[in-house]
Structure formats: C-alpha cells, structure tokens
C-alpha cells in the first residue's frame, strides 16, 4: 500500500469539493482511492452555524437535533454527549469547531453517501479513469484508548468488505465470521498521513491496496445496509442496549 497526503489551499465555505480536488491533484492513477476529510464537504455545503453563546448548551442543543440518538452529557465526567448518527457513535453528533475559520460550528454533510457518489463520478470523468474509490472520513475516539482514529463514513467505487468466510485458516479450520473492513482500513492509513491539526492536507491518495475489489458503479442500498449492525445484534449489545438513549432530531 502507498499513501500520499495532498496539501491544498485553505478551503472556504461554498468552495466545491470538485474544484479543490482539480486544483490540488494533477493526475490520478487507476485503482487509486481518494480519502477526503468530511469537513471539506461540510464547507462546500455551507454546513456552518455561528457560535452565539458561551458554554456547551448551544452545542449540545445542536447535537440533539443532528443525532439519531443521544445520551445526556451530564453522565460524562467530561460533559461530552455521546451520540449515534448514521450508525456511527461520535461525540456531539460530529459537531466541532476545529479547523473552521471564525466562530462557527461545523456540522456533518447533509447526505455523506450522495456527496461521495458525486465525487466518484467527477473523478472518473475528470481524470479519465474507470476504477477509482472515494471515502469520506471523520475522526473519533476509541473506547478504553486515548487518541483518535478516522472512520470512513461513506464510500464509493469498491467493495467495502473482504470476506474470509468459508476459507481455511493456517491450520485448515474453516473461518465462519471473519471479514476485513476495507473502507475503515484504508481510511485509517490515509488520515494518518493527512493529520489532524494544521497540516492543511485534507485529502490522501491511497494506491496499491492488496485485494481491493473495485466496482464501476455506486454501492447499492443493500450493500450499504449490510455494513451496519443493529444495536441488538451487535457484539457490544450488552453495553449499547443498557444505555439510556434518547431520540434525536436526525439532522437539521
């Protein structure tokens, strides 16, 4: 696998993702995957709201409206609101103020999958390539570990899972459940090079990924649905189901 972070100019609200890509990447090879920070999409969609109050209540109110489910922030010693949005667990509904010019909250893109599909179509046309992937990334913490890693919250152009089910392990035993999440693995590699601070590298080109199966179409809804596990079927169900989740607004 090869990873190259892409430095761009400072992106302003209203800039299109496609224009930033075209300005920053001269050529793109077949079988490449472009990882793009979600904040670039948020800026393009003007998903910025002015911060008008001191304290956390305003941000919590936005998070309640943005999230599908939320937990009372007063349950946390850090007064952080745990939320579920689009089958992902993020703090504060993915809302933050980092790397945003001025005193603004940055919200998640309205429809991450539609946005990624549109960029995938643009890459194929603009760079005259057939097999290419796109991932939208966002960072979050890992339970019981310090530090953040990035998650791929939407993908297009390749098969997201590599299955080992029905294949033998080193000793000939058949594997029953093992699947590698290619989207998440590529995202972590890409965003490690992109950075989280002032690097000004909101994109990364990932190439030569072993066993990545490209698709010359957008993912179907059935494929997207299969990637997510219902709360009651998850291995972490004893934790998830015991939490006092409250219904959120599902997006502004």
This prediction's pTM:
0.94
Residue 34, in any domain of the structure = yes
For the sheet with 82-85, list strands across it: 88-91, 82-85, 69-70, 246-247
C-beta of residue 215 within 8 angstroms of C-beta of residue 158: yes
Q: Is the pLDDT of residue 245 over 70?
A: yes
| Residue 64 CB-density burial (10 A; 0-12 exposed, 13-18 middle, 19+ buried) | buried
4 forms beta bridges with 205
Which range, of 30-39, 102-111, 165-174, averages the lowest pLDDT?
102-111
pLDDT in tens, 56-66: 899 999 999 99
Residue 192, in any domain of the structure = yes
Residue 246, in any domain of the structure = no
Structure tokens at 49: 């709201």
Q: Which residues contact 1 (CB under 8 A, 6 or more apart)?
A: 189, 206, 207, 208, 209, 210
Q: Is 211 helix (H, G, I), strand (E, B) or coil?
A: coil
The backbone torsions φ and ψ at residue 107, rounded to the nearest 5 degrees and listed phi first, read -100, 160
Residue 222, in any domain of the structure = yes
Domain coverage including residue 148: 2-46+110-229
At residue 55, the pLDDT reads 81
Q: How confident is the model at residue 252 (pLDDT cuts 50, 70, 90)?
A: low
Residue 202, in any domain of the structure = yes
Residue 90, in any domain of the structure = no
Residue 248, in any domain of the structure = no
Number of structural domains the chain divides into: 1
CATH number of the domain that residue 127 is part of = 3.30.1330.100
Q: Which residue has the tokens 């995957």?
A: 33
pLDDT in tens, 187-196: 999 999 999 9
Q: Which residue has the tokens 């430095």?
A: 7
Half-sphere exposure of 14 (CA within 13 A, CB side): 0
CB atoms within 10 A of CB 156: 26
pLDDT in tens, 48-103: 999 888 888 999 999 999 999 999 999 899 888 999 998 999 998 888 887 776 78
At residue 102, the pLDDT reads 74
Residue 165, in any domain of the structure = yes
């Amino acid at each position: 696998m090869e990873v190259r972070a892409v430095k761009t100019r400072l992106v302003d609200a209203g800039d299109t993702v496609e224009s930033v890509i075209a300005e920053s990447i001269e050529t793109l090879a077949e079988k490449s995957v472009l990882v793009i920070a979600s904040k670039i999409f948020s800026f393009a969609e003007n998903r910025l709201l002015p911060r008008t109050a001191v304290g956390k209540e305003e941000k919590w109110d936005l998070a309640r409206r943005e999230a599908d489910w939320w937990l009372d922030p007063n349950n946390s010693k850090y007064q952080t609101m745990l939320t579920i949005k689009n089958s992902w667990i993020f703090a504060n509904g993915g809302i933050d103020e980092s790397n945003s010019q001025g005193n603004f909250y940055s919200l998640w893109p309205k429809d991450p999958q539609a946005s990624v599909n549109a960029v995938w179509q643009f890459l194929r046309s603009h760079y005259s390539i057939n097999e290419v992937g796109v991932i939208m990334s966002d960072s979050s913490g890992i339970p019981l570990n310090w530090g953040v890693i990035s998650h791929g919250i939407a993908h297009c152009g390749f098969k997201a899972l590599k299955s080992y089910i029905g294949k033998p392990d080193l000793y000939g035993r058949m594997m029953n459940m093992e699947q590698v999440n290619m989207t998440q693995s590529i995202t972590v590699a890409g965003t490690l090079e992109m950075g989280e601070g002032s690097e000004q590298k909101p994109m990364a080109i990932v190439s030569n990924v072993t066993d990545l199966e490209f698709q010359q179409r957008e993912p179907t809804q059935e494929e997207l649905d299969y990637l997510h596990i219902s709360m009651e079927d998850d291995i972490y169900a004893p934790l998830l189901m015991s939490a006092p989740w409250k219904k959120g607004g599902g997006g502004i």
